[in-house]
Structures are given as structure tokens and as C-alpha cells.
A = this chain, B = another copy of it.
Amino acid sequence: MEAPSIDPRQAKLILETALLTSAEPLPLSQLKRLFDDELDADTLRRLLDDLRQEWDGRGVELVSVASGWRFQTRPQFQHVLDRLSPQRAPRYSRAVMETLAIIAYRQPVTRGDIEDIRGVTVSAPVLKALESRGWIEALGHREVPGRPTLFGTTQQFLDDLCLRSLEELPPLEDMDSLLERAAQSESASPAEQAQEEDGDAPAGVDVEVNSGAAGDGRSSC
């Protein structure tokens, strides 16, 4: 239907359009279909890299996550966008985050495993919150009395955290440094920590998005 050689400029426009409109990240295999499989993976990757550079300094960036490529906003713009929709995504409690971490690093785990590590019961709403976000899922059952459900993280979890695989999770603190951890690392009381967490959204109304930072910007991925 089309010439075997595809104009790179046109190809990038097509890639850009497809990626801007897709609700899901698009893997290379799908992006290939845009060109009737006439572009190989390397060419596609080069075009995508070009495209990513072209979007440098904009409010939106092209990133590669577990299930493919997608456009998303740079974190620096989030507080401006929040003005449009006051209801932000939930900030998860420590109970939820600890449960998530245990599932992410120790999967597959049962509720009992999580409770053993945390030392407290895991309430139903905690697992519910993670399940309804699509971050964890039941993988099966452990064949012990009661056949408890085994949980693991999902592809969606990786996508939402801009990770390409579980290996990209922050490494676990090794035992030596855990033993060495001095009091100062913990010097802030839990109460203070909580405050810090709440405070990380830039307060106030500055419209300036710090164009410098957006430019060479810390990417969210």
C-alpha cells in the first residue's frame, strides 16, 4: 500500500498521534502494526528516541514503561493540573504502602505472610485499596489448610510507577546497613515524617513551573 521506505518525519507523526491517543501504553509489536510491519524494532526505537527528544522541555514526556511506550505529564506540571480536578489520586496510608512493598518484594505472598512481617493484621480495606487500584491481584492459593490466596503485583502497578520490570524497584536495604542504621536516620519522629509527606506538593499558587527544571527535567521515569 505504501512505499517500502517510510519518511521518518511522517513516521514520527504517526507514532506521536498513536501514542497521544492510546489509553494504554503501546508495545513495539503494536507500534509496528502502524507501518504494516515494514519498520523493524531498531528503527522504531530510534524514531521513538527522536520523538522523546522532540518533546523535551514540554509539559508532556514520552516514556517507556512495562507494557510499552506512552505519553504522560512531567511531575512538575502536576500541581498546576490539580487546579482543574480537585480530587487527586489518593495518597496511600503507611499500612497500604507497607503491604504493597511486601507484596512487591516478596511475591507471591499470602495475607498471613504480610501479617507476619508487619506484626499486625492486614485489614480488608488495605488489600481492597490495592486491588481496586489494579496494583495487586490474586495469583492462586497456597496449598495449606485454609488455602490462603497468594497475591502478586500487576503489570498496571509497574506501569503506574513507570517501571519496566520488578527489577527496577528500589533495591532493598541489605542487612549490614540495616544493623548499622544509627539513630539519626530515624531522628524525625513518625509524626514529623507524616507532615513531611503531606507537604511535598508545592504549596501555594505559583503558576511558574520552573521552566528550567522542566527543560532538562527530572523525568518521572
Which residues of A line the B interface, CB within 8 A? 1-2, 6-7, 9-11, 13-14, 16-18, 20-22, 26, 30, 33-36, 38, 57-60, 71, 73-74, 77, 80-81, 83-84, 86, 204-209, 211-214
Contacts and interface: CB of A to CB of B under 8 A. Distances in A.
B206 A21 contact: no
Given A20-B71, A36-B83, A80-B34, A14 B209 contact: yes
Contacts of A206: 1-2
B212 A1 contact: yes
A57 to B, nearest CB: 8
Given A34-B83, A83-B36, A84-B26, A77 B17 contact: yes
Contact of A17 (B36, B81, B207, B211): B81
Contacts of A30: 84
Contacts of A209: 10, 13-14
Contacts of A207: 2, 6, 10-11, 14, 34-36, 38
In the A-B complex, the 6 residue pairs with the smallest Cβ-Cβ separation, listed nearest first, are: A17-B59, A13-B59, A17-B77, A33-B83, A36-B205, A2-B206
Contact of A205 (B1, B20, B74): B1
Given A7-B208, A14-B59, A18-B84, 7 more contacts: A13-B214, A14-B209, A18-B59, A18-B80, A20-B71, A20-B73, A38-B207
Greatest chain B CB density within 10 A among A6, A9, A18, A74 is at A18
B1 A33 contact: no
B59 A213 contact: no
Contacts of A6: 207
A71 B21 CA distance: 10
